[in-house]
Structure 1
Amino acid sequence: MLIPDQSPRSRRLPAPDIHRETLPTLEAVPVYETVQGGMSPFDLFGAIRHNWGRVLLSIVLGAFIGIGLAILLPRTWHAEGLLVIETQELGIPELATVRSARTVEPWGGRSEARILTSRALVERAVLDLGLQFDDRYNRTLRPTILEMMRRADWLPIWLRQSLSDLAPAPRIDGEMVAEIVENVQKDLSANSEERSYAISLGYTGKDATTAAKLVNSLMELYIAQEVEAKKSANFKASEQLRSRVEELGKDLEERREAIRAMEAEADLVEAGGGSFRSQELAAIAEERRRIEAERSAVERDLQQIDTAGTAGRANVLNADLITPRLRALLASEADLERTLAESSSEFGPLHPRMVALQNELADVRGDIDGELASLREGVARNVALLRAREQSLDRQLEQASGAAATTARGRAMVEQLKEEVLSAQALYDLYRSRYEQTVANLELFNADARIVSHAAPPQHPSSPGMLLLGLVGACIGGAVGAGLLIMRHWARGGLGSPDEVGMLAGLPTLGALPRIGGWFGLGSKFHDRVLDESGSVLAETVRGILFRIQRSEVSGRPAKVVMVTSPMPKDGKSSLTVAIARVAAEEGLRCLALDCDFRRPSIASALGVRPALSLDDFMDGLVELEDVLVRDKRSRAHFIPARGTANCSRSFLERRRLRRLIQAARQHYDLILIDTPPVMKVIDPLILSGLADACVLVVSWKAATRSSIQESVRRLESAGTALIGVIMTRVGGQVPASYVYGGSDSYESY
């Protein structure tokens, strides 16, 4: 314990009988090579480690947020099925003019994938599964706060009735179905790789079974839709064939009735004639029948061409009339119509691709019309020629029939009609055969796709679990916390390395003291540890600071009286003053430390004493120096504590007794330390600097800023203070060995 030294021996100041070796001296200018400014990774790590509690708190908070999200967010399940597009087509040659062959491009799977996720198909699946009645998909079916309050029996009846009126009614209308369909489409995914016909259809839902059912329903509806489209197309083709068969059958029956009528008429009239005329008449009649049959066939072709041109359906033409160019144009028209229909679900009508497809389709249809016109022109010329030939034969037949009997003419007409009946019968049989084949194959068509793998209910949810979200939240929280600390450090102008502080102040860095303290403020104090652990790094650091102070000189003289100040309060200058004094005494130096911080004195509390008299009393002239001097029994250093006074004016600080005290102490002490208030708070250090040979600026790595250091140096230099260096305290992170060990690179070099 420290007590005031009141013995007679202590009242007489000792003579300087302790010899010490003269040390090399240095001017009060920077003596260390500075480095570029900025914070190194070690400084950033030190800033984080210095605030490790906040970083840990942000990590824990982030983990709790992640776990909370995992609890609050609904779990989702992902079901997936596989569909394959078939590239082979069932071939029926007789239906070549009715059904167009399906062309599957290497990228065809992508078009089918868009169809699988189309709105129409999804809406059918939603309605089939009844998702509009499921509260997981229909938000109006979920219980609201008003609904739960309405069911609370402990509430008054009138209040529950009022809540019933306020609660929204469940909706299962078209708008809600449309909303459900849109939400389902957002969670649907249909993927097809490059040059692949396999389509992977997946859905992420709120229920495993429902997700699998929805995927399977979409694939089955797609296949059913494909089959239905084929059946519909072939049904229309069969209806056209049936109508044509009925027309041909009616014409065939009329021709047979005409033959029977003419045969009956021939039985009533008997006439004879010469054999030559009969043969001539028979030859002319045969030729006329042939020309007439050919003309009829050509006229039917012309009628088909006119029908195709008027109705815009070139597929009703006979295969014999379709030229290779027309067949190619029809195939191009079918491909363009299918491509246009598939692209309409992805692009708008004004999209450049849609406009280009429509223009190309119009050009193809124009070419088809031109080809039909050219074909009709040729058939029309043939009809005109056949009619002229028929008229010529009619005139010949009329001339020959004048010489023939009525019976012979009738027989010729009957034969002609029979030939026509045979031709009509052949055409009727052909169309009837096509119609029967079409009807027979209506149920044989398969879809162009098949399900390779049905979707099964997933066993594990696809949404992130509690552990994963907790870890992610902890990582994000730690990163955010560390980032905020670094940003805060930079925003407030925080300090980096000791070299940066020295370069900023334009002064040498005398040393850097690490942050010291136990848990919750427990553990020995800094000025006690330099004695308790004299061989520690901390003690060696203080010795290095003392060594550098001794090596300094001002105006060619050693700095014996050194003022210790700081930019801001609580920078550790008082504890450092006590520690330097104790180490100096341990090194054999006669050291005196004065507490001139009259506003907030702290040396007495640091020493653990409550002296009855203080420096304030001495300056007031109430006591002598021997009455206020306190000797440290542990280190033999001398201290003069202050009690604190409200009267701390300039006149008080400039009293002659204080100046005489310093002058007398110069004769009896090797080192005199003056602890002063913060230079950024009061002007006391500027007034007291006239008593000191030099000044040491103590900077707290945690609290000091660049601006405060620069302003402190400016104020001290403006008062004529000789600054010999900067000492950093409470340094976090790694401190270079040249500062921790007082200038040596490593402890082993001693």
Structure 2
Amino acid sequence: MKQDVNKIHTTSTLQNITHLLRRRRMLVLGITFLGFSLSAFIAQKLEPVYTANAQLVFEGQNATFIKTQQAFIGSPRIAQAVIRDIGIENLSNHLTTTKIEPIVTRFRKNFSAISVPNSYLLDLEYSHHSPYLAARILNKIIDHYIDDQPLQSTHDPENIKTLTRLQRNVETALDTLENFKNHADQDKYNVEPSNEYKKAKLKYTQTKIRLDPFMDPSGTLILNHKSPDILNSKTIQKLNLERIQVEQKLKTLSYRYGPKHPKIIELTAQFSAINTKINHEKYAIMTAIKSQYGLALAQFKTLEQAQIAPSSGYTAKMQNEFNLLKAQAQHALKLYTEYEDLYKAKPIDAAAAILRRASTPYAPSFPDKGRILLLGTLLSLIFSALITLLIEKSRNTFLSGKQLEEYLNFPCYALIPKAKKDKDKNFADYVMDHPASSIAEAVRALRLVLKLRADADKSATTQDSKVITITSSFPNEGKTTLSSWMARLAAKSGERVILIDADLRRPSIHKNFGQQNTLSLVEYLGGHNKLEEIINTNDASGLHIIYGRSVPNSALDLISSDKMEQLVRSLRKAYDLIIIDSPACMAASDARALEKLSDQLLYVVLWNKTPREVVHNGISQFTQFGNARIATVLSNIDLKKHVQFGYGNAISDYSNYKECPTV
């Protein structure tokens, strides 16, 4: 059965994420460990809270009654009674107030009463930082509730109604007496203010208006230089005039004398003395207004208290009416007391019973350290995964051939490892000196791929794939080094190979081989020398080389000339492989002209350096006018980091093999 090859090699999103997390495992583990440590620190620093439990049973009562008791047992009245018994100072070490209202509110937050469904039970809980106090307080709540709980009574209904009516009469009589007293007291204070009181109030208001500019929003006294009293002060106006005159003299003399001149020093001292006097005068004004305000306020308060003081007691008529209402209230209270004693209720039964009292808890209910550690570790793991994905999405370089292929839709033929430069040897000799290295094997693999590709294309086209142009986005990405290595290894394998340095702006192949470029491609294209005169031979590999020379002004004209095209055409007949080292395509347009003369374009990308947008723009230069045959090569790969990123170490496996000795 034929299988779909694309499905076989397509990885899922989950596999990609797993692969990414494995590559960034040190970052993930570091953030996760940090989150775990922070969670452990928080769990250790949180103050433990203990919860005591108890149960009440309401046998024979309905659900509505139990819910009513659920609210009653947590009422402020019972809370205040418990607080009085326990003592405010024993409730907590973190209280910042001694007022009863906030303490009761906090007390009720720590208490809960929950009815058990389909039963007569009521679960009670109280939380506290001390396990002993948690149990003690909850038992106190139960005791106060049992003492004050609603009772089941067996009174005669008629007697209860009569007792209720008498109680209502007592309440009505007391309310009538209280209303009369309040009305009579109000009539005593309706007195016309005296003239002295009015004058004191006016003076107080005026001094307050003068003092207001010196007060900030918090009520603190500050010096306000723009207050009306300061601005209207004759003394301050006179001092300001003197200061202006001295300042004008000082400015005039400063053009003639330096800062250490006696006149300048004298005028500066005068200017400082006047400023000091002005500030003293302002503070004196502010202090005088404050004193006036304090005196006016004290006089106003004294007269105000005298104004509202009663001048005499009740009138005779008001006193008689008050005595009558008082006697009626006393009579109503006497009837209620006598009736209550005469028809006192029979013994009563309790509605609730204690099923289980609170005992001291041994384990804290908060914090749940295990849950905090688990949650903190899980959140830090998720955060580390998000950070890893963000870093990966923000990465703008290429780390693998697969990334190149997915981004550009062109094949990646080779991954070239990074080589260590030896100052005493030419860099082009590296593959000759280290024939079994991973770099030499990678270059041989590249040459093999190009051969296989050429053999496959021969069935579809008559053109031989002999001419290969190598370029890159920027200089120093390894294109010249790759050209030298591939040309030498191909020549050593028995092929007829010629290497052309077509970078007529920054030629460097002659430097790699340690030679001079006196006779170069420029001389041939300019008609000064013949072809056989500019071809050099490398004795170690049998490679033929045409060096380049820097002529930036005429480089493009020479490369795009007919003679260059004729040169390539003639070399096709004499050589099996022609490698052209081209200038960087983002720096010059020469590579586009050379690509038209080539059968294959190799685009070198510097590993983890060249930005993706730059590579895309460089490739676009060769595809916008035709279907160029392009492949990419990822160069200068750091094998150690490449393995750390999770892309494997297959490209370095062959470096472990050694050549067997001949027998």
Which of 109, 122, 147 in structure 2 is aligned with 1:228? 147
Tell me the alpha carbon deviations over residues 114-167 of structure 1, each in whole angstroms, 9 at most, x when there is no partner. Answer: 7777777667667766677888634x5xxxxxxxxxxxxxxxxxxxxxxxxxxx
Q: 2:428, 2:12 → 1: CA distance?
A: 29
**Superposition RMSD in Å:** 5.7
Query: Retained in 2: the 8 A contact 1:192–1:199?
Result: yes
Alignment match, 2:33: 63
Please show how residues 574-593 of structure 1 align to structure 2 within 5 Å: 574-593=480-499
Which among 134, 143, 148 is matched to residue 215 of structure 1? 134
Determine whether 1:81 maps to 2:81: no
Measured at CA, do residues 643 and 482 of structure 1 come closer, stay the same or move farther in structure 2, by a change above 3 Å?
Answer: farther
Listed as ranges, the matches of 1:35-46 within 5 Å are 43-44=16-17
Q: Tell me the CA shift for residue 556 of structure 1.
A: 1.9
Distance 1:199 1:562, change over 3 A: same
SS in 1 for 2:50: strand
How far does the alpha carbon of each residue in 1:476-504 deviate from its partner, in whole angstroms, 9 at most, with x for none? Answer: 45323322234436xx6989984x86577
Q: Is 2:413 the partner of 1:511? A: yes
Cα 1:516–1:664, aligned 2, differ >3 Å: closer, same or farther? same
Mapped to 2, the partners of 1:515 and 1:115 lie a distance apart of 81
Aligned-partner SS, 2:386: helix
After TM superposition, the structure 1 = structure 2 runs for residues 429-578 of structure 1, keeping only pairs within 5 Å, are 438=347, 447-452=352-357, 454-458=359-363, 462=367, 464=369, 471-472=377-378, 475-488=381-394, 498=402, 507=410, 509=411, 511-513=413-415, 528=431, 531-533=435-437, 538=442, 541-551=445-455, 552=457, 556-566=462-472, 573-578=479-484
Please list the CA deviations of residues 586-608 of structure 1 after superposition, one character each: whole Å capped at 9, or x if unmatched.
43222333444455667677x5x
Counterpart residue identity of residue 532, structure 1: A
Question: 2:55–2:354: 8 Å Cα contact kept in structure 1?
Answer: yes
2-structure distance, mates of 1:724, 1:510: 9
What is the distance in 2 between the residues matched to 1:446 and 1:526? 104
Read off the aligned partner of 1:511 and give its amino acid letter: Y
Q: How does 1:11-410 map to 2 (within 5 A)?
A: 43-44=16-17, 47=20, 52=24, 56-57=26-27, 59-64=29-34, 66-68=36-38, 70-71=40-41, 74-88=45-59, 102-103=61-62, 137-138=94-95, 171-173=97-99, 177=103, 180-181=106-107, 185=110, 194-195=117-118, 197=121, 199=123, 201=125, 203=127, 207=129, 210=130, 212-230=131-149, 233=151, 307=162
Cα deviation 1:681-702 (Å, max 9, x = unaligned): 5423213223323323445685
Q: Contact between 2:52 and 2:126, CA under 8 Å: does it hold in 1? A: yes
Change (3 A) 1:216 1:501: same
Q: Partner amino acid for 1:80?
A: T
**Alignment partners' CA distance in 2, 1:664 and 1:616:** 15
5+ residue gaps in structure 2? Answer: 169-339, 421-426, 654-663
Matched, 1:685 2:591: yes
Cα offsets for 1:343-369 (capped at 9, x unmatched):
xxxxxxxxxxxxxxxxxxxxxxxxxxx
Provide closer, same or farther for how the CA distance between residues 591 and 702 of structure 1 changes in structure 2, counting only shifts above 3 A: same
Return closer, same or farther for 1:536/1:515 CA change in 2, 3 Å cut-off.
Answer: closer
CA distance in 2, matches of 1:525, 1:178: 88
Q: Which amino acid aligns with 1:83?
A: A
What residue number does 2:560 align with?
654
- How many residues align? The count is 456
SS in 2 for 1:221: helix
Q: Is the 8 A contact 2:602 2:630 kept in 1?
A: yes
Q: Deviations over 1:243-273 (max 9, x none)?
A: xxxxxxxxxxxxxxxxxxxxxxxxxxxxxxx
Corresponding residue number in structure 2 for 1:379: none
Q: Secondary structure at the match of 2:435?
A: helix
TM-score (norm 2): 0.52
Secondary structure of the structure 1 residue equivalent to 2:367: coil
Report how far residue 558 of structure 1 moved: 0.6
Aligned residue number for residue 613 of structure 1: 517
> Which residue of structure 2 aligns with residue 273 of structure 1?
none
Cα 1:116–1:548, aligned 2, differ >3 Å: closer, same or farther? Answer: farther
Structure 1 residues 223 and 711: CA distance shift in structure 2, 3 A: same
Judged with a 3 Å threshold, the aligned counterparts in structure 2 of structure 1 residues 566 and 659 are, in CA distance, closer, same or farther, namely same
Specify whether residues 83 and 46 from structure 1 end up closer, same or farther in structure 2 by C-alpha distance, changes over 3 A only: closer
Give the Cα separation in 2 of the matches to 1:473 and 1:602.
Answer: 54
Letter in 1 for 2:576: D
Q: Distance in 2 between matches of 1:526 and 1:469?
A: 59
1:530–1:62: structure 2 CA closer, same or farther, 3 Å change rule?
A: same
* CA 1:43–1:681: 2 relative to 1, 3 Å: farther
Out of 552, 565, 579, the position equivalent to 1:673 is 579
Structure of greater Rg: 1
Residues 535, 544 of structure 2: 8 Å contact kept: no
Render the CA deviation track for 1:600-654: whole Å, top value 9, x for unaligned.
667677x5x5444375775796988766847383x55455566767647533543
Q: For residues 413 and 570 of structure 2, what CA distance do their matches in structure 1 show?
A: 30
The answer to which structure, 1 or 2, has the higher relative contact order (CA under 8 A, 6+ apart) is: 1
CA contact (8 A) 2:50 2:364 kept: no
Structure 1 position 223, deviation (Å) = 0.8
CA deviation vs aligned residue, 1:191-247 (integer Å, no higher than 9, x gap): 7765464737364x6x4xx2x2453244223312321223x758xx79x89xxxxxx
Provide the TM-score with structure 1 as the length reference: 0.47
**8 Å CA contact retained: 1:616, 1:645:** no
State percent identity of aligned pairs: 18
Aligned equivalents of 1:541, 1:192: Cα separation in 2: 79
Match of 1:17 in 2: none
**Which of 629, 632, 650 lines up with 1:723 in the alignment?**
629
Give ranges in structure 1 of 5+ residues lacking alignment. Answer: 1-31, 89-100, 141-170, 242-300, 314-430, 519-523, 742-750
Q: Distance in 2 between matches of 1:642 and 1:582?
A: 18
CA distance in structure 2 between the aligned counterparts of 1:312 and 1:632, rounded to whole angstroms: 129
